[in-house]
Amino acid sequence: MAASRPLGAPEPADACAVFHLDSRKVSALRKAMLGIPSVAALAETFKVLGDVTRVRILDALSRSELCVCDIAQLLGLSESAVSHQLRLLRGMRLVRARRDGRMVFYTLDDQHIVRLFEQGMEHVEERK
């Protein structure tokens, strides 16, 4: 169903040149779209991924399970800085820890995160 602006009515500054409304499609999409809690959680995940240091940590962990000392040495950061970033990544369930005696090793949380990271890299690489 198409609708149009009345003749002589001023065009809003942000309006399409031709107004078209498919009310069935809009209604179906409104029901299918993410709810506010899911949108907020996804936005928060992307916000956490928007930091260069955290992306570097995720890159390292996508290749191998590592302890804080290894990550700090690899990235040229302090152990304190790495621990702080890992705490944020754990809180967002992007990485998980495994204790082995007194050592704690980190890896990407699950296959969803591995795929998210891989797909992000594919997207970046194809733009080069």
- Domain ranges in the chain? 36-126
Among 49, 2, 40, 6, residue whose Cα is nearest residue 24: 2
Q: How far apart are CA 126 and CA 128, in angstroms?
A: 5
Query: Is 22 strand, coil or helix?
Result: coil
17-47, pLDDT tens digit by residue? 767 788 899 899 999 999 999 999 989 988 9
45-103, pLDDT tens digit by residue? 889 999 999 999 999 999 999 999 999 999 999 999 999 999 999 999 999 999 999 99
Query: What confidence tier does 4 reach under pLDDT thresholds 50, 70, 90?
Result: low
Question: For residue 95, what is the enclosing H or E element?
Answer: strand 95-100
- DSSP label of 66: E
For domain 36-126, the CATH class is mainly alpha
